[in-house]
Structure 1
Amino acid sequence: MSTERQPLHTRPRLTHASLASSTTLSDKPNMAETEKFNKLKLKKTETQEKNSLPPKETIEQEKQAGKS
């Protein structure tokens, strides 16, 4: 087997038609897995805000300090 790669212009192109023929696509997802999913097995978590903005007053003070 060769380790040399083919140039892009010589590789076979995948078209929408070739992809569609190789897999079965549908407009609606298969919901079987989500229907049997057990929410009770999920761990309880607390949401924490990681990147909060400073108060409006602090922003105004920094703007004024930057203009001086």
Structure 2
Amino acid sequence: MSDKPDVTEIEKFGKSKLKKTETQEKKTLPSKEMIEQEKQTGES
């Protein structure tokens, strides 16, 4: 028996069965200005 997993079912899977989805960014990174503002309010 080999250490590799059995991928025969994966090889048979048709990509046409998958649905196309649109990804949406849920959390955006703060801008440099926002970071500076947070630093200033934290120091007071």
Q: TM tier, shorter chain? A: 0.7 to 0.9
Give the distance between the partners of 2:31 and 2:2, measured in 1 at CA: 48
Superposed, which structure 2 residues align to 1:21-36 within 5 Å? 26-36=2-12
Q: Which amino acid aligns with 1:47?
A: T
Structure 2: give runs of 5+ residues left out of the alignment. none
Aligned residue number for residue 21 of structure 2:
45
How many residues are treated as equivalent by the alignment?
44
Structure number with greater Rg is 1
Give the distance between the partners of 1:51 and 1:26, measured in 2 at CA: 42
Structure-2-length-normalised TM-score: 0.77
Which runs of at least 4 in structure 1 moved beyond 3 Å after TM superposition? none
Q: Which amino acid aligns with 2:4?
A: K
Structure-1-length-normalised TM-score: 0.55
Deviations 1:11-57 (A, max 9, x none): xxxxxxxxxxxxxx631111110110011110101111112221111
Cα RMSD (Å): 1.4
